[in-house]
Structure 1
Amino acid sequence: MGSHSALITLATLLGLSLAPGSIVTAAAPPTVTTPATPLLSQGNQLYQAGQYAAALDTWTQAIAQLGDSPSLDRAQTLTHIALAHLQLGQWVSAQDHIDRSLQTLEQLPPSPQRTFSQGKAHNVQGSLWYSQGHLDQALEAFQAASLAYTAVGDRLGQQQNQLNQAKVLQSQGRNILAQAQLQALQDDLASSPNSPLKAASLRELGTVVRLTSSADRGQALLEESLAVAQSLGDSNEQAATWLQLGSLHQDLGQWDAAHSAYGAVLALNPNPTLQVQALVNQFRVKTRQNPGLWPDLPRDRQRLETALAQAPPNRTSLYAHINYAQSLVDLATEPTAGSSVSLSPQPPSSPALPLAPIAEQLAQAIQTAQALGDPLTEAYGLGKLGHLYAVAGQWPEAQRLTQNALNLAQAANAAESVYQWQWQLGRIYWAQQQWDNADRSYQGAIASLETLRGDLASLNPDARFSFREEIEPIYRQYVSLLLTPRPSSVSQSPGFPLSPISSLKSLVPSLPLAQSPRPSPVTQANLIKARTAIESLQVAELVNFFQADCVTLKSVDVDQVDPKAGIIYTIMLGDRLEVLLSQPGYPIYHQTVAAAHNRIENLVKTIRLNLKDPFGLPKRELQALYRWLIEPLEAELAQRDLETLVFVSDGSLRNLPMAVLYDGEQYLVEKYALALTPGLQLFDPKPLVDQTLGVTIAGVSEARQGFSALPAVLTEVADIQSNIPSQVFLNDKFQKTLVSSQLQTQPSSVVHFATHGQFGSTAEDTFILTWDDKIYINELSELLRSGFIQEDQAIELLVFSACETAEGDDRAVLGLAGLAVRSGARSTLATLWQVDDRATGIFMDHFYTYLSQGTLTKAEAVRQAQLSLMQDQDLAHPFYWAPFVLVGNWL
């Protein structure tokens, strides 16, 4: 991991309040053993009142009176002075004084008082490192403090230190460890009286929970923290928690609630740092919601700028400066909320605000960060300034600034910052038509994301910005870059020049505009890259779905999988649909279709709605979709010897059974066997092993837990038993423990669930029904995997005969694919909507009959079962046969 948090980076991009400097140092400096002069006590009082500069002056006078002889008084006063410098953002002086404090303590004979003072000094040292973004050093210092507190039996010091270490772990992206440590601390404090530490620990636990697992539970913990702080009458703790509640509401797009939460911070009149954060975040909320709703924005700006000018020059205030500048850029260029990330660089439009003053503000923040020795904050400011120059259309300057930001982030090994500046640099190169440089930058950004896969997995999917707005566009833009025809000459927009700014001259030297390479058609190399990128996006979505890096990629040569199968990639890129056909022995075939994303989404929605009605048939819409997806490939398909079409579908197309695509005379399933897959590297595409198939069947036929009865399940189970040897757990026998025990003692190659279930856009929305409970997808995957300990074993097929995907949810099929991936199954057969009970039984009877013959692929067995239903006049409507889809390995 790098030394800067992915969570902090993503949060600060949106103006959130994960304050880099929010480590617990102490409510007040540690008490001096025997004050040599009244100046020490006077300094303590000033510090407690938040008058850090006055406290620093007082302690500086005290240290002069104490002299140079080593003593506890001198060591602790040096620690006080370091703490005051830290609060004022004077990090070089803080480091100097904490080093002198520790050196003084080393010269004293061992004693409990010396050990205690060493713990306090290391705690301040850790806070200093943390404030500068040096997280590894911060963790080492806090661990040293923990050893000292343990040695002298200081339980409060240990608890404070545990909180600090958890914050560092969270900032390193090690969120599981951070959450475990915070939960242990909260358990330890549960029976203790209310205290600021208890409020702080609840707040930090709520923060990490809301970002990693559950917004609802995170909110509950934050509200509990607020109640503790209110019972103490502690305005600072209340304000800090309101700040996090505001961030939670902002994540979820709950603008009014976020605005109120930040207003509560300001009403409490907390310390200046919290005030500045609340003002910046509240301003961000107003600009994202709709600036037109807030006629008092000019007054807000004046108040905010006054607060920023008065804030001490520390890392938190610098982030506030930079985030405020970013809000002004957004206000200047995006006057309304809800604008999506473009899939190609856009020419600059006339800004609504002058950009030069914003650039000046960013430049000042950068120079302050340089003076403080904080390279990551400097990189953050440089990157945002680069973005501003890109907005102005001054591409060479934008390129130089972004490259500087990238260099600093790479030097700090901060991959979670690196990918953002690589992505921005790619867009800047693209705008200048420097194709090779743009390609390399996008590849670098995706490679950096791969190293962060575990961190990104832990981001709460309820916070839609975390993936849909900050991660997914990188992949889509890269694919768009690879598949975009390249013009023959550079047509760079002149943009809107910024006024000359003296403070920027050293940062933005002039760069010559690079010339565009010669135009070329989309090459096979680029088509292969695009195919790889879209598969990588599918993997990233699965990781985000499970909130865990549980995806193991297989080493698969896509072009050597199945010579009789054509892999069709459908990629929606805003204003167009890109269709790729990949088959072993052939070059990738590529067609671009002028079909806008929203037109496809609306068409799929209409088709889904009508297909679920057995008395309606949207043939016109099905033909339209056929013209977009299949017709561009028809001539090529006719020349190839194909038996199966495997779709790697995009967006809402994943929730549509491709079997229903209609050419005016035939459905697609009448021509080919069909399957869906999120990517060939996710599954082991091997045919059914040469073995006698066995089935473990678990089902519920009776009405349970508010779900309707499925009486045909009894016939379905009997028909399967007549085809394949089966172990059955029906109704009250279908309990988690019984099925788990069966799979562990007698693993089956096929596991069949004949029960209600739902596949949604998150793991929490995806479950199957047992007799008296629900099994959610994470638990189900573990249950299934438990039966296959040896690496060469796998579930050949998972079947869900009565489940459905959540309506209008384009991520729901991820649950189907993800369950197979996580449980080690080769493929999944399921229904996209709840089918007529009798039709399901007939389909399953035919399917298992064909499968047990051992001569057909899984996809062909599905196809033949569907054709059988189509020949029954009562079941010929697609409502009955279309929703059965095979996901994963089709062989």
Structure 2
Amino acid sequence: MQPRTITITALITLLAATTTGITPNVSQPFSAQIALAQAPLTHNPEAYRLIEQGNQQYKISEFQAAIQSWQQALAIYQKSGEQIGEGIALINLGHAYFSVGEYQKALEFYQQSLAIQQQLRDCPGEANSLNHLGEVYRVLGQYQKAIEFYQKSLALIREIGQSANTDHYALLQQEATSLSNLGNAYRNLGQYQKAIEVGEQSLALLKKMSELPSRDSFAILKETVNSLTNLGHVYFYLGNYQKAVECYKQSLAVVREIGDRQGEANTLGGLGNIYYSSEQYQNGMKIYQQSLAIARGIGDRTSEGIVLNNIGALLATNNQPELAIIFYKQSVNVREAIRRDIQGLPKEQQQSYIETIANTYRSLADLLLKQDRVLEAQRVLDLLKVQELEDYLHDVRASENLSNGIADRAPEQQIKKGYEAILNQAIEQGKELSQLESLPVSNRTEVQQQRVIELRKNQEQITQQFQEFLKSSEVAALLIQLRQTTVGEGFDLDKYATSLQDNLKRLQQDAVILYPFVLEDRLELVLVTSYTPPIRRTVAVKRKDLNRAILEFRDVLKTPSRDAKDSAQKLYNWLIKPIANDLAQAKAKTIIYAPDGQLRYIPLAALYDGNQWLVQRFGINNITALSLTEFNTKPQSKLHIFAGAFTQGNYSIQVGSRQFNFQGLKYAGIEIENLAKIVPSTTRLLDQQFSRDTVLQMNDYSVVHLATHAAFVEGQPEQSFILFGDGKYVTLRDVGSWRLPNVDLVVLSACETGLGDKLGDGKEVLGFGYQMQRAGARAAIASLWQVDDGGTQAMMDAFYAALENGSTTKAKALRQAQIALITGDYKALGQQRGLEVQQGTRSRLSPTVNSRLSHPYYWAPFILIGNGL
């Protein structure tokens, strides 16, 4: 039986029969639906031939071949100075790089094309470039910016359409594409009704085009399929799986007819989601495998990463965690490769993609912990923290041992090798099938048609072979081996574990590393000691209950008239009590703490065990991520302090969309004056003297102390800032360009976090610590809230008195100062100096404040991030 040929009119009619007013929200980006630019008729027949050759290669998803053809054409056009041809080659190169997930290159080519179209006053070409720039911004998660570009494209198209000398067919095609893409952006934002409206407008235009003499049926069919696939997403997310399956199957028939391999991979992915969500796991796996083979075969890394993740999720749901971990790892590594390729983009254009990666990291870490593969989970958690920093700051670099993603164990490598052999067979046959299917049925020979049928049967058999492999005795034996061993041959976990333990031993602080990991249904605690394998403890507390307790605790911490002990003990019971015996057995004296999510907004030191605050039992210093922290560099032998303060005046500043009003800090001048008395080698800069220009002086000092307003706000780094004494400010983004390689410690004594209506995930706190570390400073001290009534001055006096003792580490000095305020006993700061600090504090502060200094409001907000030596 001959395959049927689908006409545009028939497809539009089919669409009209299935369209209703329903909408979706799809997390995965789908490829741009491209109307390939045709070569101009010029005196460069070779360039013309290369453009058309690239077009044909692109249509059958041979993207790398198309890139080569178009690059050659571009060189010819540039050499001859033919800007029309150059613009066409540039926009087509943008399409190809977009299709393989190289979004930075796609953006560059589209921008170059736009500049040429504007210079030539080629309004249709300009509208086309604007539309495709919008697509790049959309897949990078900048939906509002994408919408602006689509709307500009549409406005220009409609303006051109009023001209009598207009190619109305081409404009209809561009308008339909821009409307379809605009609908996608609305869908991504959850604005479903708008998505439906513009989607229906797009379909109406496509139907109108189908009634005109067709010059590019491929482009129309491809765009129509896009609309049909998007409608399937609508039904899927609204739970109408039957309608969704109908849409996807209709789309599949067309993409296979026109040889659109990328469209086929994406549509199969949507269909796989339907089967997975309706618990038809075998069918779901079958469809995902087909999608994976196509995506990898054509080099579509975005789709490959997504479908690998979905296979992992399906296997995990189907109680096959070891196999799920293998696919999650591959998904992470594919996405890491894409992330590295987009690091040259403007920073705000990377955020959404990295958030997608973080979700996969959490799923992988969750599964690893459930399998008691704690050391592997710890590495994933560390990578997750790097990704969270990357999400916030956009230009974070992981250490070398993490830069290549996540390694496989030996049994995992064997399983991966087996399934990839099957996958490669599917890829090779899929390429041959795609080439044959690209021929119109009427043009195929009888031999070619028989080969098409044979290859389609083979595809089904390969899919079955894949399923049988995962169930085979060979894989079962490898999974048993995987469960029985903690270190596989060729895997670097033993080396990594030794490195962790050696680092802790070299500290000579009896230190342990604590990684809490917050999941929806539980809290996982990972403890790394210097002598034992990593320890995992599970706490049955839901994320929402933990976050509620964090908010309650933070509220009482910031109110010195309220008793904080009950709230502090509740969190102690979740975070410390489950590992109390482990800490005792390790004889731990220092906890190196890598908090997760909203835990970053509360100080571990202020947890309460029913008898003592945690800081009375342990030294504590926070880290951004283990892989980003250098623990063993010792500080300079003598303190040499740069001290800047904002003491008087009133400033109103606008940061982003927010207005802040600040007054000079009443006690900041006294704080700096006392600091100079304790450490005579202190340079004091007050108010107007303390300006942005003084940043250039900071690297000449071992400690930089800033007694001024600072705010770390949930959102973008540009919204977090440090205020200078002259009313100017720097954002957290700006701090990344500071150079402080000689600085051991940066202290911000009056900063605040969590200033919004609700707490975020604490990435701004993480970001501050990393930016200071990136600037070269070994450690930073920041306050989680601003302390009034001279409390900061009391705390800083005690801290520097302890730090002035050359044998005291930064972490130990902070702990001694905190204990002094808790107990009222300042002897640990030094007999004479402790007495001076105690007398000074009592004489300067009111009796009410003096009586409350033991409350964590005064001593707990100050956290040390980084190297605690």
Sort the Cα spacing of 1:427 and 1:814 in 2 relative to 1 into closer, same or farther, 3 A.
same
Deviations 1:624-652 (A, max 9, x none): 11111111122222333111112222221
1:877 aligns with 2:806: no
2:519 counterpart residue number: 573
Query: Residue in 1 aligned with 2:18?
Result: none
1:704 aligns with 2:640: no
Q: Deviations over 1:410-441 (max 9, x none)?
A: 34444433322222222333334334322322
2:32 match: 20
Residues 674-689 of structure 1 aligned to structure 2 (within 5 Å): 674-689=620-635
In structure 2, what is the Cα distance between the partners aligned to 1:694 and 1:541? 34
Give the deviation of 1:466 after TM superposition: 4.4
Whether 1:609 aligns to 2:555 is yes
Q: SS of 2:785's equivalent?
A: coil
When residues 639 and 261 of structure 1 are mapped into structure 2, their CA distance, relative to the original with a 3 A threshold, is closer
Q: CA deviation at 1:595?
A: 0.7
- Does the Cα contact within 8 Å between 1:719 and 1:845 map onto a contact in 2? yes
> Aligned pair 1:656/2:602, yes or no?
yes
- The 8 Å contact of residues 212 and 460 in structure 1, kept in 2 or not, is answered as no
Cα separation, partners in 2 of 1:591 and 1:173, compared to 1, 3 Å: same
Q: Partner of 2:504: helix, strand, or coil?
A: coil
Aligned length: 690
> Aligned-pair distance for 1:672?
1.0
Retained in 1: the 8 A contact 2:641–2:702?
yes
Is contact 1:20–1:131 with CA below 8 Å preserved after alignment? no
Q: 1:669 aligns with which of 580, 600, 615?
A: 615
CA displacement at 1:598 relative to structure 2? 0.7
Please give the alpha-carbon distance, in whole angstroms, between the structure 2 residues aligned to 1:135 and 1:197. Answer: 22
- Aligned counterparts of 1:275 and 1:614: Cα–Cα separation in 2: 71
Residues 434-490 of structure 1 deviation map (CA, whole Å, 9 limit, x = unaligned):
34322322222223233233357669879986455x333322222322333xxxxxx
> 1:575: Cα distance to partner?
1.4
The residue number in structure 1 matching 2:864 is 886
Q: Which amino acid aligns with 2:744?
A: E
Shift of 1:124: 3.9
Match of 2:792 in 1: 840
Pairing 1:277-676 to 2, within 5 Å after superposition: 314-332=221-239, 353-354=241-242, 358-359=244-245, 362-363=248-249, 365-366=251-252, 368-454=254-340, 466-468=353-355, 470-484=356-370, 523=372, 526-553=373-400, 557-563=499-505, 564-676=510-622
Please point out which of 719, 729, 733 is paired with 1:774. Answer: 729
Change over 3 Å in CA distance of 1:21–1:137 after alignment to 2:
farther
| Structure 2 contact 821–859 (Cα < 8 Å) conserved | yes
Question: Percent identity over the alignment?
Answer: 27
One-letter amino acid matched to 1:703: N
State the alpha-carbon separation in 2 of the partners of residues 274 and 868 from structure 1: 80
* Whole-Å separation in 1 of the counterparts to 2:639 and 2:138: 44
Q: Which residue identity does 1:154 align to in structure 2? A: E
1:403 alignment partner AA: Q
1:158-173 → structure 2 map (5 Å cutoff): 158-173=86-101
CA–CA distance in structure 2, aligned partners of residues 582 and 690 of structure 1: 29
Deviation digits for residues 91-148 of structure 1 (CA, Å, limit 9, x no counterpart): xxxxxxxxxxxxxxxxxxxxxx431x44444334444444444433333333333233
Contact map agreement 1:573 1:597 (CA 8 A) in 2: yes
1:817 aligns with 2:745: no
**Residue type matched to 2:232 in 1?**
A
Task: Spell out, residue by residue over 1:173-223, the C-alpha distance to the aligned partner (whole angstroms, 9 max, x if none).
Answer: 444454455556656666775823333444444554566596666655555
Cα RMSD of the aligned pairs, angstroms, is 3.7
Q: Is the 8 A contact 2:632 2:867 kept in 1?
A: yes
Q: What is the CA distance between 1:681 and its match in structure 2?
A: 0.9
Larger mean Cα displacement after TM superposition, 671-680 or 764-773: 764-773
Q: CA offsets per residue over residues 728-754 of structure 1, 9 Å max, x none?
A: 554334443x235335xx544433333
> How far, CA to CA, are the matches of 1:160 and 1:312 in structure 2?
16
Change (3 A) 1:266 1:819: same
User: Which one-letter code corresponds to 1:725 in the other structure?
Assistant: S
> For residues 191 and 707 of structure 1, what CA distance do their matches in structure 2 show?
48
Q: Hey, what does 2:194 align to over in structure 1?
A: 260
In the alignment, the residues of structure 2 paired with residue 548 and residue 611 of structure 1 have an alpha-carbon distance, to the nearest angstrom, of 34
Contact 1:322 1:381 in 2 (8 A): yes
Assess if the C-alpha contact under 8 Å between 1:19 and 1:316 holds in 2. Answer: no
User: Residues of 2 paired with 1:416 and 1:269: CA distance?
Assistant: 27
Q: Cα distance 1:427–1:201, how it changes in 2: closer, same or farther (>3 A)?
A: closer
Residue 791 (structure 2) pairs with residue 853 (structure 1): no
Secondary structure at the residue paired with 1:452? helix
Report the equivalent of 1:803.
751
- Structure 2 counterpart of 1:142: 70
Work out whether residues 77 and 83 of structure 2, in 8 Å CA contact, stay in contact via their aligned partners in 1: yes
Distance 1:146 1:422 in 2: 35
Matched, 1:714 2:660: no
**Per-residue CA shift, 1:767-790, capped at 9, x if unaligned?**
2223343322232111x23x54xx
CA contact (8 A) 2:748 2:782 kept: yes
Question: CA 1:353 to 1:166, structure 2 compared with 1: closer, same or farther past 3 Å?
Answer: closer
Change (3 A) 1:552 1:176: farther
Read off the aligned partner of 1:890 and give its amino acid letter. Answer: G
Q: Which amino acid aligns with 2:815?
A: R
Contact conserved, 1:675 with 1:859, CA < 8 A, in 2?
yes
Structure 1 pair 170/427, CA: closer, same or farther in 2 (3 Å)?
Answer: closer
Residues 244 and 370 (structure 1), Cα distance of their counterparts in 2 relative to 1, 3 Å cut: closer
Matched residue SS, 1:562 = helix
TM-score (norm 2): 0.71
Counterpart of 1:14 in structure 2: which amino acid?
V
Taking structure 1 as the reference length, the TM-score comes to 0.69
* CA distance 1:231–1:142, change in 2 (3 Å): same
Q: Per the alignment, in what secondary structure is the counterpart of residue 561 of structure 1? A: helix
Map of 2:706 onto structure 1: 753
Whether 1:732 aligns to 2:674 is no
Q: 2: CA distance between counterparts of 1:227 and 1:376?
A: 29
Aligned residue in 2 for 1:763 = 717
Partners in 2 of 1:700 and 1:841 — Cα distance? 14
Contact 2:527 2:534 in 1 (8 A): yes
Aligned to 1:867: 819
Which AA in structure 2 matches 1:867?
I
Q: 1:327 to 1:23 in 2, by over 3 A?
A: same
The Cα of 1:15 is off from its aligned counterpart by 7.7
CA distance, structure 2, for counterparts of residue 17 and residue 449 of structure 1 = 13
The amino acid of 2:851's aligned partner reads Q
Q: 1:450 to 1:854 in 2, by over 3 A?
A: farther
Secondary structure of the residue aligned to 1:704 is strand
1:851 maps to amino acid? L
Q: 1:632 is paired with a residue of what secondary structure? A: helix
Answer whether contact 2:141 2:351 (CA < 8 A) is retained. no
- Spell out, residue by residue over 1:42-92, the C-alpha distance to the aligned partner (whole angstroms, 9 max, x if none): xxxxxxxxxxxxxxxxxxxxxxxxxxxxxxxxxx6xxxxxxxxxxxxxxxx
* Contact kept? 2:281, 2:314, Cα under 8 Å: yes
Q: Which runs of 5+ in 1 are unaligned?
A: 1-11, 31-75, 77-112, 277-309, 333-351, 485-521, 789-793
